């Protein structure tokens, strides 16, 4: 952070914006929102927000600084003698909210050059219709609204700063006023994180600090400090952590070097937590470099911190398999690999804003999409429960999640069963919360700044239930259809991939597998996986001496028995797939109607015109409803 023109340390960008807008006379009432519970750097010091405002931004510019909060009432932070402060407190004693605002207004008008800080502003100006507020809350809202319009109030060099993590916590009528300006405090970028690591962990080598800054995207600086601080104020020091970890790793390869690196990123952890984290039997990633282990631990701690902060609204996706583990689906894999190359190559302008995966249940949508994330090297987060009974404010929680996701980019945001989340809205039975949530998600999905940074992926087998607006280009650019395996060869490829994924050996030739799969027409990918696992289970049973299965495989069977041709045939005879054929055909036709590329369709659908597709859909709907 370079110093300003007056030689003083430069302010954070958001604070400089606030200063310039105030000096230009655009407003005298400001709302600071988003990343308000963090630390902010000025020179070589870090401040939390209220001390930053009172000790840095306002200290030399305002003679009087007041703080008003619902828990501590009014505090005089700066200005006035001890007698004047005591007189003000006596005057306010026993007064309600209206009386407090009246007294503060008189003080600020008479003295001038005053600042009023209101933390947790949503508790004083809650997001509710005015007729639902108490008389005191209405009075407070009216006073603040009147101050924002009063030129005399502003000309006396007075400013009011409201602090709220989410704008959704505040009265909408307040935020729509043209003389009340909202200024976003963004999540820290890579440069901010790197500077914080150098500050809180000055002994960390540059070669480790730089990748650490890269891998901690999405964390606040206050969270980052809790990971890398050299000396914890109350907990174990870095030297103590190093000694403890070395004792836990005693006898392991590179124990001393591993202890040094792990001690650098376990600040704030108790001995018991460190004991659970340190694994002496862990195989070091890569070429056995302890730095790889350190980054793995950092990612684990980052995940825990973010999932905790987002209150169960998100879940990290950690796919174990890439697209090489997907059987069949050659054209879909080719399409997804092209997208992966765009993302890996940093070609943001060409990367899609979002993907819509459609097709009948059991077609492999979720598994293939997760494999794509691993192939593309994309971190993935599943958004869940955002139409359930969330703790606190629904909109505020959603804002927190989206801000975190954006700060973590490039990243994929996965929404499974999207028809439930984005279905067409009927009766407004929740006070409009669902409508506002979906409107906010639509706005976020179409934000051009997210292209190449946040990839939305929506999965559904009922795209007809989706709000049409959600499916438009600019939100979900690529619509990828999934179908059941069409040929015996494709079904054999799926079964073979399942055997390989679960490390099940097979002792019969490929042509026998192909022949067996000829009779499995209509089986979904999920059915084929269940069938393959059933065959593996039968092979396991057959090795037991008391097995009733009349199979020669049990005699002298290996510890991990192979699936024989007879076992596989027995599994096929025993397995009963679901029989929802009409609904499956309907979902297939919906996928045909939604796809963005004809070449992704099976051959039997490619020649259909749009009219023929709609006619078939109408006919299938009649069958389902009859």
pLDDT, tens digit, for every residue of 92-145?
Answer: 777 778 888 988 999 899 999 999 999 999 989 888 777 777 888 888 888 998
pLDDT tens digits, one per residue of 333-360: 888 888 888 877 878 788 899 999 999 9
Q: Are 247 and 187 in contact (CB under 8 A)?
A: no
CATH of the domain at 433: 3.40.50.300
- 354 and 423 belong to one structural domain: yes
pTM for the model: 0.80
Residues 338 and 473 in one domain: yes
Residue 55 lies in a domain: yes
213 pLDDT band, cuts 50/70/90, is very high
Do 58 and 159 fall within a single domain? yes
Do the strands 379-383 and 411-415 form a parallel or antiparallel pair, or are they unpaired?
A: parallel
Q: Taking the C-alpha atoms of 472, 474, 475 and 481 in order, what is their torsion angle to the nearest 10 degrees?
A: 60
Q: Within this chain, do residues 438 and 407 fall inside the same structural domain, yes or no?
A: yes
Mean pLDDT of 522-539: 93
Same domain, 470 and 339: yes
Q: Using CA atoms, how far apart are residues 255 and 253, in angstroms rounded to an integer?
A: 5
Does the pLDDT of residue 153 top 70, yes or no?
yes
455 or 284, greater pLDDT: 455
* Domain C-terminal end among 309, 334, 358: 309
Residues 17 and 105 in one domain: yes
Range 408-422 average pLDDT:
83
Residue predicted with more confidence, 373 or 550:
373
Q: Report residue 452's pLDDT band, with 50, 70 and 90 as the boundaries.
A: confident
In 3D, which of 432, 450, 259 has the Cα closest to residue 352? Answer: 450
Domain span including residue 82: 13-185
Region 536-558: mean pLDDT is: 64
Label residue 386 by pLDDT band (50, 70, 90).
low
CB atoms within 10 A of CB 566: 17
Q: Are residues 211 and 297 in the same domain?
A: yes
106 domain residue, yes or no:
yes
The CATH number covering residue 566 comes to 1.10.8.60
Residue 8 lies in a domain: no
**Same-domain status, 78 and 160:** yes
Among 439, 464, 481, the domain boundary falls at: 481
**Residue 191 maps to a domain:** no
Mean pLDDT throughout 566-586?
Answer: 90
What is the H or E stretch that residue 307 is in? helix 290-309
52-84 pLDDT per residue, tens: 999 999 999 999 999 999 888 899 999 878 887
Helix (H, G, I), strand (E, B) or coil at 571: helix
Q: Calculate the CA 358 to chain-centre distance.
A: 22
Half-sphere exposure of 259 (CA within 13 A, CB side): 20
Which residue, chain included where needed, has tokens 């836990």?
248
Same domain, 156 and 36: yes
End-to-end Cα spacing for the chain: 70
Cβ–Cβ under 8 Å, residues 267 and 228: yes
* Structure confidence at residue 485 (pLDDT): 92
Instruction: Take residue 14 and report the two structure tokens written for it.
Output: 């958001």
Do both 216 and 92 map to the same domain? no
C-alpha distance from residue 446 to each of 218, 457, 472 (Å) = 21, 13, 10
As a whole number, the mean pLDDT across the chain is 86
The model's confidence at residue 391, banded by pLDDT at 50, 70 and 90, is very low
Residue 237 lies in a domain: yes
pLDDT (tens digit, 9 = 90+) per residue, 3-20? 555 567 889 999 999 999
| Integer Cα distance of 136 and 100 in angstroms | 10
Q: Could you give the percent of the chain with pLDDT greater than 90?
A: 44
Spell out the long-range contacts of 253-260 with Cβ–Cβ below 8 A and sequence spacing 24 or more: 253/284, 253/288, 254/284, 254/288, 254/290, 255/280, 257/290, 258/284, 258/290, 258/293, 260/290
Assess whether 385 and 431 both reside in one domain.
yes
pLDDT for 159-177, tens place per residue? 999 999 988 888 888 888 8
Q: Average pLDDT in the 562-584 region?
A: 90
Position 2 confidence tier, pLDDT thresholds 50, 70, 90: very low
Lowest mean pLDDT among 294-308, 309-323, 381-395: 381-395
Number of domains in the chain: 4
CATH of the domain at 25: 3.40.50
Final residue in a domain of this structure, among 253, 275, 309: 309
From the list 45, 31, 53, 188, the residue with the least C-alpha distance to 120 is: 31
Reduce the DSSP state of residue 185 to 3 states and report it: strand
Q: Where are the alpha helices (DSSP H) in 518-602?
A: 525-542, 565-574, 581-594
In a domain, 496, yes or no: yes
Does residue 502 carry a pLDDT above 80?
A: yes
What is the band of 231 on the pLDDT scale with cuts at 50, 70, 90? low
User: What backbone phi and psi angles, to 5 degrees, belong to 45?
Assistant: -115, 155
What would the mean pLDDT of 519-537 be, rounded to a whole number? 93
Same domain, 106 and 172: yes
What residue has token string 């020179």? 43
Query: Mean per-residue pLDDT for 190-210?
Result: 92
Residue 31 maps to a domain:
yes
The verdict on residue 37 lying in a domain is yes
């Amino acid at each position: 952070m370079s110093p300003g023109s007056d030689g003083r340390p430069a302010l954070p960008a958001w604070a400089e914006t606030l200063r310039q807008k105030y000096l230009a006379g655009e407003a005298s009432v400001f709302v600071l929102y988003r990343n308000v519970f963090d630390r902010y750097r000025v020179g070589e010091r870090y401040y939390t927000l209220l001390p930053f405002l009172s000790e840095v931004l306002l200290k030399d510019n305002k003679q009087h600084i007041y703080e008003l909060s619902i828990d501590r009432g009014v505090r005089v932070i700066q200005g006035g003698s001890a007698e004047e402060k005591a007189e003000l407190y006596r005057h306010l004693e026993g007064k309600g909210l209206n009386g407090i605002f009246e007294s503060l207004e008189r003080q600020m008008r008479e003295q001038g050059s005053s600042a009023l800080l209101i933390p947790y502003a949503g508790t004083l100006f809650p997001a509710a219709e005015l007729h639902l507020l108490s008389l005191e809350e209405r009075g407070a809202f009216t006073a603040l609204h009147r101050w924002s319009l009063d030129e005399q109030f502003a000309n006396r060099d007075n400013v009011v700063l409201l602090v709220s993590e989410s704008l959704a916590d505040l009265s909408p009528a307040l935020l729509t006023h043209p003389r009340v300006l909202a200024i976003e405090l963004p999540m820290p970028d890579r440069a901010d994180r790197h500077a914080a690591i150098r500050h809180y962990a000055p002994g960390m080598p540059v070669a480790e600090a730089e990748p650490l800054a890269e891998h901690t995207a999405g964390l606040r600086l206050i969270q980052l400090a809790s990971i890398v601080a050299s000396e914890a104020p109350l907990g174990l020091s870095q030297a103590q952590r190093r000694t403890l970890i070395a004792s836990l790793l005693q006898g392991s390869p590179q124990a001393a070097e591993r202890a040094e690196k792990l001690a650098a990123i376990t600040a704030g952890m108790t001995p018991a937590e460190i004991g659970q984290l340190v694994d002496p039997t862990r195989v070091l990633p890569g070429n056995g470099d302890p730095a790889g282990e350190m980054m793995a631990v950092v990612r684990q701690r980052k995940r825990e911190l973010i999932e905790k902060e987002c209150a169960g609204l998100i879940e990290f996706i950690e796919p174990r398999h890439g697209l090489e583990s997907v059987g069949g689906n050659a054209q879909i894999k080719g399409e997804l690999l092209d997208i992966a190359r765009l993302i890996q190559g940093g070609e943001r302008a060409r990367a899609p804003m979002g993907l819509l995966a459609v097709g009948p249940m059991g077609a492999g949508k979720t598994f293939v999409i997760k494999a794509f994330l691993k192939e593309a090297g994309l971190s993935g987060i599943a958004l869940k429960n955002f139409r359930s009974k969330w703790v606190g404010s629904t909109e505020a929680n959603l804002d927190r999640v989206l801000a975190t996701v954006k700060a973590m980019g490039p990243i994929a945001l996965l929404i499974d069963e999207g028809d439930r989340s984005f279905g067409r809205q009927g009766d407004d039975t929740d006070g409009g919360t669902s409508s506002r949530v979906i409107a906010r998600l639509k706005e976020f999905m179409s934000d051009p700044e997210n292209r190449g940074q946040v990839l939305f992926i929506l999965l559904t087998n009922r795209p007809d239930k989706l709000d049409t607006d959600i499916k438009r280009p600019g939100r979900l650019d690529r619509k990828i259809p999934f179908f059941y395996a069409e040929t015996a060869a494709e079904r054999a490829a799926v079964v073979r991939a399942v055997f390989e994924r679960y490390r099940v050996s097979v002792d019969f030739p490929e042509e026998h597998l192909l022949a067996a799969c000829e009779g499995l027409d209509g089986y979904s990918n999920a059915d084929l996986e269940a069938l393959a696992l059933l065959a593996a289970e039968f092979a396991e049973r057959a090795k037991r001496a008391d097995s009733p299965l009349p199979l020669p495989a049990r005699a002298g069977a290996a510890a991990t028995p192979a699936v024989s041709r007879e076992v596989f045939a027995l599994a096929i005879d025993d397995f009963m797939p679901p029989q929802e054929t009409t609904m499956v055909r309907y979902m297939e036709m919906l996928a045909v109607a939604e796809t963005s590329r004809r070449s992704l369709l099976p051959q039997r659908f490619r020649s259909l015109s749009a009219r023929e597709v709609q006619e078939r859909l109408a006919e299938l709907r009649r069958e389902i409803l009859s």
